[in-house]
Amino acid sequence: MHTELQDHLGYSFNDPALLRLALTHPSVAHEKGAPLQTNQRLEFLGDAVLQLVLTRELYEKFPAFGEGPLTKARAKLVNRRTLAEHARRLGLGRELILSKGEEMHGGRERASALADTFEALMGAIFLDGGFDAASDFVLRQFLPAFGELSALPILENPKGELQELLQSLSPEAPRYHVASATGPDHDRIFECTVHHAGSELARGTGKSKKAAESEAANAALRKLRQRKEVGV
């Protein structure tokens, strides 16, 4: 049962009924109008497994990151759109067990259904093979994303992150200054510096003052984290 899918997953179920349950969309129960198990409970379990595996990996991989950046990185990894993409790559859509109505309305490609099925699959693997099996599977799926994270930490608000980091050391907030603005009015390049406790931490450039400040904050964060890693 679902041999091709299991080959694609790189995981063979000891109990194939768990895989079938993970693929059973709630619409089937509504269509039959009778009590029927669907993947909703497995989705609930799988969400917790996924969060724990990724949280531990982020915690161990980025020892210099605080709670704020780690939480944002995890949120990026487990948002619904990202999980739906993982489900598409695995071909879960064509394996879904759907009601006729859901099938007619494009349920196999619906992002919410795909994301839910991916989480349900995590729950099924956890129940079937234990935490190590689930962890191995999750990390195989997310390995490329962790490569990107190591190259460029996910920081939606570098100025806010920098302020949070510095104010954990002293009450003084970072200060930004425009060091230069060059080029014609329609194509200006700004260079900004960021200072703390009387010292310049870093510089950044950008097409606007805001962009240059963000670049300076990012550069400062990288320097501060490198120092922390080497114990400076």
SS (H, E, C) 45-58: HHHHHHHHHHHHHH
* Total residue length of the chain: 232
Query: pLDDT at position 154, please?
Result: 57
Query: pLDDT at position 178, please?
Result: 95
All structural domains of the chain with their residue ranges: 3-150, 158-230
Asked whether the predicted pLDDT for residue 175 surpasses 60, the reply is: yes
Query: pLDDT at position 190, please?
Result: 93
Q: Looking at residues 89-99, what average pLDDT do you find? A: 89
Q: Looking at residues 96-124, what average pLDDT do you find? A: 88
Query: pLDDT at position 12, please?
Result: 92
Q: Looking at residues 206-212, what average pLDDT do you find? A: 88
Catalytic residues: 47, 119
Q: Looking at residues 136-164, what average pLDDT do you find? A: 76
Distance in angstroms (rounded) separating the CA atoms of residues 230 and 228 = 5
Query: pLDDT at position 230, please?
Result: 46
Q: Residue 1's pLDDT band (boundaries 50, 70, 90)?
A: low
Asked whether the predicted pLDDT for residue 152 surpasses 60, the reply is: no
Q: Looking at residues 59-74, what average pLDDT do you find? A: 81
Q: Looking at residues 189-214, what average pLDDT do you find? A: 91
Q: Are 49 and 134 in contact (CB under 8 A)?
A: yes
Q: Residue 149's pLDDT band (boundaries 50, 70, 90)?
A: low
Q: Looking at residues 148-177, what average pLDDT do you find? A: 77
Query: Domain 3-150, what fold?
Result: Ribonuclease iii, N-terminal Endonuclease Domain; Chain A (1.10.1520)
Query: Which CATH class name applies to 158-230?
Result: alpha beta
Q: Looking at residues 177-201, what average pLDDT do you find? A: 91
Q: What average pLDDT does the structure give for the chain? A: 86
Q: Residue 169's pLDDT band (boundaries 50, 70, 90)?
A: confident
Exposed e or buried b for every residue in 11-28, given b needs 16+ CB within 10 A?
bebeeeebbbbbbbbbbb
Measured CA distances, 56 to 31, 53, 59, 139 (Å): 40, 5, 5, 11
